[in-house]
Amino acid sequence: MIGLGEPDPLTCSRAGCRHTASWRIEWRNPRIHTADRVKVWLACDEHVDFLREFLAAREFPVDVVPVAQDAGERTSA
């Protein structure tokens, strides 16, 4: 709803950030998610490294791809 402070659909997932996301961070927690269950965080250029490192430090499988990139062209981090 407009006017209720909801983020735009492509807003960075970093807490407090309202920048437009240009990266998809696709991840899962292998202890609770099956291989077909992937979660997605969005990131702006400023926060992509922070969010990727946050997940990688927990040893979660992480893929970082541009928002507009095809699902077939992923780069694992």
Q: Could you give the C-alpha distances from 3 to 6, 8, 12, 37, 40, in angstroms and in order?
A: 8, 11, 19, 33, 25
Q: Does residue 3 lie within any of the structural domains?
A: no
Structural domains counted in the chain: 1
Q: Is the pLDDT of residue 71 over 70?
A: no
**Confidence at residue 68, expressed as pLDDT on a 0 to 100 scale:** 84
Q: Which domain covers residue 24, as residue numbers?
A: 9-69
Burial of residue 25 (CB within 10 Å: 0-12, 13-18, 19+) is buried
| Run of H or E including 56 | helix 48-56
The pLDDT value recorded for residue 1 is 39
Q: How many Å apart are CA 39 and CA 13, to the nearest integer?
A: 12
pLDDT tens column, 11-50:
999 999 999 999 999 999 999 989 999 999 999 999 999 9
Q: Is residue 63 part of a domain?
A: yes
Residue 43 has what pLDDT? 97
Assess if residue 75 is contained within a domain: no
**62 is a domain residue:** yes
- pLDDT at 7 (0 to 100): 53
